[in-house]
Structure formats: C-alpha cells, structure tokens
Amino acid sequence: MKRYLWFGLSLLLSLILILICFRDTDPREVARALSLAHPGYLALAVAIGVVSFTGRALRWRTLLSHLRPGVPLGGLFSCTVIGFMLSYVLPLRVGELARPILLARREKMSKASVIATVAVARMMDFLTVLLFFSIYLIGFSSRLPVAGSPWIQQMRAQGIQVGWVILAAVLGLYITVLTRDRVFRFLEAKTREGSVLRKLVDFLHAMVRGFEVLKGGRALAVGMLYTLATWSLIDLSILAGLKAFGLPMDFIDVFLLLAFLAVGIAVPTPAGLGSYQFLGMKCLEEVYGIHSEVALAAIWAQWCIAVVPVMALGAILIWKEGLSVGQVGRMLQSEREASR
C-alpha cells in the first residue's frame, strides 16, 4: 500500500512541476519549436544515447571480472537496458535492483556480489558528474552571465573555489578507495569510539566499502575510464539534441547542464518526469539565456531522447528474456522481502 501511495505522490509531483514549466509560456510556441527541430540531429542524439549503454556494459564487465572473467557483453547490455527501463516504469526505482538480479539469474552468479558492482558503478556515475561540474566551474565559470539571478552571480563569483573543492573531494575519495585499509586503520586508531569524528569515519568507511568488490586498483582505473567515455557520449547525445533546436552551446557547456539533468532524473518521479524538465529549463533559461518556449521544447525533446528509446528497447529485450514487467516486479518484491 505504501508503495502505491508513494508512486501516487511522485506522479502528483511530476504534474505540479510540469504545470510550473508551462506557466508563463505559450504552448503553441513550444509546439512550433518542436516542429522546427532538425530530425537529423535528433536521430544522432538517439543513436549516441543508445551506444552509451555499451560503455555501461563494458564497465560492468570490468567490475565483474574478479567474479567471472569474460561475462558476455550482450547479456550485460540487455540487463543494463532492462534495468533502466524498469526504473522508469516501476515505483521506487526498483530497476536498480533488477539489473544485478537478472544478470545473477542468467549467469548463475552471487546476487550480493553483482549488486555490489552496480552500487560501485552508480557511485562512479555520481563522481563523474561532479568531476565534469568541477571542470566547468574551474575553467569556464566566466561563461556564466554577469547580470544573472543571485545564485548565478554567486556561482560566477565563487565558481573556481567551489570547483576546486569538488575536484579535491572527488580525487580524495578515489585515493581513499585505493588506500582504504591503511587510511581507515589510521583514522580509527586516532578517533574515540562513539565520538562524532568516529561516526564520520564509520560513514565514510561504509561509503567506500562497496569498492572492495573490485579487488585491486586496475579494475577501478579501467572502470573509471569506461565511465568517462560513457558520460562523454551522454554529453554528445545531449549536445546533438540541443543542436537540433539551433542552441548556441558546445561540449563544455553541457558539463553544467548535465549536473542539472542528473539531479532532475534522480528525483523520485516516474523517469524523472517533471523534475528533469524543470531543472533543465531553468538552466537553459537562466544560464544560457534561451527563450523559455525554445528551452522547454528542447528539454522535452531531450527527455524523450533519453527515456523513450530505452523503454522501447528494454521492452523488446525483456520480451526476448521470456519475462514481463509484472513478473520482474514480483521477482524483485520477493527478493526485497527475503532480504528483510
């Protein structure tokens, strides 16, 4: 019951955010901007977006290499796409759990270990978005408008300092992961049991403990390279979608937009619906000075590029697996109940 209540609330939040997006805009102008979009760029954006899932599959194979070398790439690609599709259509993002469980079922591997690799991959995604954001702030915050809203002015004034702090945090976390045993032995020896500092150390240890599944620095390094390649493809896909509307943005500009869209898609609404459009439109309007109707049209197109092909391809792949969305949902529910 709680699950359906939560799903209903997330739908309500989506509706509210969509209404806010359309407030003070002319729907006819939004439709007109969509009709004028270049179909070639839109097709290119879709193609690059689908190819980016190959990067995710290659990374996953690297993270799984200590459990079973050479897991078939086709199976990894299929489970990845199905997982994303289920995250879009089932409540509470249960698709995140579907990916590892489907793969463990297919390849007869340890579910707990496969789940750990997915958690590591998600952490890599998060850190890469932060890395791109920090690069923009350090090297390109001067592109931000001088006469923008207060938060833009603050970002322009202190962007370089904030960027360095974020970059140091990202690099520091990776160094901590590589030297975690020595680092946490030292920190635990220097902090008192039950103290605030010890609780902070325990929290950090829990956060990086998932990386222990990699069993060495090589898998971490190769996995991070695949992550950078994947997010570069996602950047190019977004850029192609923006070019379809003639927006004057480049590869680096998308680093900032990516941060907004990543937060939008992570909000627990169905497929990020509403939150993705709201934050993406906010960025295009206030940072890049794009007219509201064109910004809204471009972001709706971008959401469709990111979500619709994955849902269509995921439906085909789950059918090929001989499963249905309902069957996978029940499978995941039983797994969650068994783990309690």
Q: Tokens 């990086």 sit at which residue?
A: 208
pLDDT at 1 over 60: no
Residue 2 has pLDDT above 70, yes or no: no
pLDDT over threshold 80, residue 230: yes
Look at residues 157, 174, 75 and name the one whose alpha carbon lies nearest to residue 123: 174
Q: What is the mean pLDDT of residues 152-176?
A: 80
| pLDDT value at 173 more than 80 | no
Q: Label residue 146 by pLDDT band (50, 70, 90).
A: low
Give the phi and the psi of residue 94 in degrees, each rounded to 5: -70, -15
Q: pLDDT band for position 277 (50/70/90)?
A: very high
Q: 117 with 293: CB under 8 angstroms?
A: no
pLDDT at 92: 65
Domain layout of the chain by residue ranges: 39-338
pLDDT of residue 153: 74
pLDDT at 210: 63
Q: Which of 252, 303, 230, 52 is nearest to 132 (CA)?
A: 252
Alpha helices for the chain (secondary structure H): 2-22, 27-35, 39-63, 73-89, 95-107, 111-140, 150-178, 180-190, 196-209, 217-243, 253-266, 275-286, 292-320, 325-338
CA distances from 148 to 38, 45, 156, 282 (A): 30, 30, 9, 12
Residue 308 is encoded by which pair of tokens? 């619709």
Question: What single letter denotes the amino acid at residue 236?
Answer: L
* Confidence at 340, pLDDT banded by 50, 70, 90: low
Mean pLDDT confidence for 238-258: 96
Burial class (CB in 10 A: 0-12, 13-18, 19+), 180: middle
Q: What pLDDT, on the 0 to 100 scale, is given for residue 19?
A: 93
The proportion of the chain whose per-residue pLDDT surpasses 70, expressed as a percent, equals 92
Asked if pLDDT for residue 331 goes beyond 80, the answer is no
User: Could you tell me the pLDDT band of residue 50, with boundaries at 50, 70 and 90?
Assistant: very high
Q: What is the pLDDT of residue 339?
A: 60
- Amino acid at site 322: G
- pLDDT average, residue stretch 209-234: 83
Do residues 338 and 112 lie in contact, with contact meaning Cβ atoms separated by under 8 Å? no
- Whether residue 175 has pLDDT greater than 90: no
Higher pLDDT, 69 or 41: 41
- What is the predicted pLDDT for the residue at 328? 80
Mean pLDDT of 192-221: 74
Could you read off the pLDDT of 106-140 as tens digits, one per residue? 888 888 888 888 888 998 899 899 999 999 989 88
Dist. CA 125–CA 160, nearest whole Å:
22
* Per-residue pLDDT at 148 exceeds 70: no
Count, residues in the chain: 340
Give me the pLDDT at residue 147, please: 63
- If one compares 212 and 38, the residue with the highest pLDDT of the two is 38
The mean pLDDT of the chain is 87
In the block, tokens 């109707």 appear at 293
Which DSSP symbol is given to 24? T
Per-residue model confidence (pLDDT) at position 32:
96
pLDDT at 263: 92
If one counts every other C-beta atom within 10 angstroms of the C-beta of residue 172, the result is 10
Quickly state the pLDDT bin for 310 (edges 50, 70, 90). very high
